[in-house]
């Protein structure tokens, strides 16, 4: 069974969970995915800021495949996937955004490091810019 959560930056440095989910109604497996996506998002934002790049949009979908057909206490994750969809202002900022997301994913997000001890983690990055410069 696939469990999935999507969060998006709201422009004030904070993230919100994307409908139809509500944070107060998440099961423990979804909470793990949510907290990991939040960790990755905050880390990517921080690194991008240090690179002097403004992320106009950042959406993160975190999913995990369970070894059971429904969520149970004994269910275990067998794999994870994290997908980033980002938007920046200029096309020449895309490499910096990509670098920030890769650092967050591969090195600095403790939540993702923890998940790697449970099961393999794959990631994808999609970046668009609104101006060519």
- The number of distinct structural domains making up the chain is 1
Say if residues 120 and 77 touch (Cβ distance below 8 Å): no
The DSSP code sequence of 46-78 is HHHHHTT--EEEEEEEEEEEESSSS--TT--EE
Return the pLDDT at 16: 93
Alpha-carbon torsion 79, 124, 116, 22, what sign? negative
Give me the CATH number covering residue 37: 3.30.300.20
3-state secondary structure of 95: helix
Q: Could you tell me which residue, 82 or 109, shows the higher pLDDT?
A: 82
Which band of pLDDT confidence, cut at 50, 70 and 90, is reported for residue 130?
A: confident
Which band of pLDDT confidence, cut at 50, 70 and 90, is reported for residue 9?
A: very high
| Residue numbers of the domain that contains 59 | 2-131
**To which H or E segment does residue 116 belong?**
helix 110-116
pTM given for the model: 0.92
Residue 21 buriedness (CB in 10 A; 0-12 / 13-18 / 19+): middle
């Amino acid at each position: 069974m696939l469990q999935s959560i999507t969060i998006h930056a709201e422009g004030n440095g904070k993230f919100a969970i994307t409908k139809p989910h509500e944070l107060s109604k998440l099961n423990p497996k979804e909470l793990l995915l949510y907290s990991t996506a939040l960790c990755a998002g905050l880390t990517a934002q921080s690194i991008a800021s240090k690179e002097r790049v403004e992320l106009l949009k950042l959406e993160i979908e975190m999913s995990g495949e369970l070894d059971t057909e429904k969520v149970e206490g004994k269910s275990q994750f067998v794999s994870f996937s994290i997908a980033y969809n980002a938007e920046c202002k200029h096309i020449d900022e895309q490499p910096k955004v990509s670098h920030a997301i890769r650092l967050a994913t591969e090195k600095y997000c403790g939540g993702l490091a923890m998940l790697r001890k449970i099961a393999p983690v794959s990631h994808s990055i999609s970046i668009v810019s609104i101006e060519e410069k």
